[in-house]
Amino acid sequence: MKKTLIATAIAGAMAFSAHASADAYIAGGIYDFGDSNVYLAGGGSLTPELSLHGKFIDAGDSVLRVTGEYLMRDIDSSLSAVLGISHYDWGMFDDTGAIVGASYHLQNDDMVIPVIFRGTYDTAWDGFFGLEVGTRYFFEENLAVEGSYKINTNGMDNEIGVGLRFTF
C-alpha cells in the first residue's frame, strides 16, 4: 500500500511539474546502489523558488524518493533547502523515511558544466547521511547527459548514476 501511494505521488508530482514549468524534465539511465541497474526521474519548478523531484531506483525491489527544494534567494541564489520522503523495499524488509538537507548549485555564465552538491539526512533504516555531487552537460538545447556520485553513511551502499535528461 505504501509503495502504491508513493509511486502515485511521484507520478502526480512529475505530471504537475511538467505542466507547471518550462524547465520540467524526465531522466533515466544506469544506476548502482547495491544491486540496482536503472533509474527513472522527473520533476520541475512549481514556482521560481520551489521545485519538486521524484526518483525511482531499481535497487532491492524498489527505492522511491520524492523531494522538494526551496531556493533561499535571501541568503544565496544558489542555496536550496531540501525536504522529502523516501521508501526502500528490499523484499521482506521495507522502510519509509523523511529526507532533510541542503543543496548548492555551482553555476555561472563562464561555466559550461554546472556542479551540484547535495547533503541529506534520511531517517529510513535507522538514519543515514548522504553527500552527493552531480553534474550535467547539455549537448542539445533540451538533451543532456548527467552523472552523480553519492557517499552514504551507516552501512548504506554508495550510489553512482549516469543517464540522459530531457527538458521541456
| Mean pLDDT calculated for residue range 140-144 | 93
| Mean pLDDT calculated for residue range 10-20 | 52
d(C-alpha 31, C-alpha 115), whole Å:
19
Q: Where are the domains of the chain?
A: 2-167
Contact 10, 35 (CB under 8 A): no
- Inter-CA distances, 136 with 117, 121, 133, Å: 12, 24, 11
User: Higher confidence at residue 36 or residue 41?
Assistant: 41
Average model confidence (pLDDT) across the chain = 87
Contact 85, 66 (CB under 8 A): yes
pLDDT (tens digit per residue) in 155-168: 999 999 999 999 98
Q: Is the pLDDT of residue 145 over 90?
A: yes
Question: Under 8 Å CB-to-CB from 148, ≥6 apart: which residues?
Answer: 116, 132, 133, 134, 135, 159, 160, 161
Q: How confident is the model at residue 22 (pLDDT cuts 50, 70, 90)?
A: low
pLDDT of residue 101: 98
pLDDT (tens digit per residue) in 78-111: 899 999 999 999 888 899 999 999 999 988 777 6
| Topology (CATH level 3) of domain 2-167 | Porin (2.40.160)
- Inter-CA distances, 13 with 27, 54, 132, 138, Å: 14, 7, 23, 24
What does pTM read for this prediction?
0.85
d(C-alpha 68, C-alpha 140), whole Å:
27
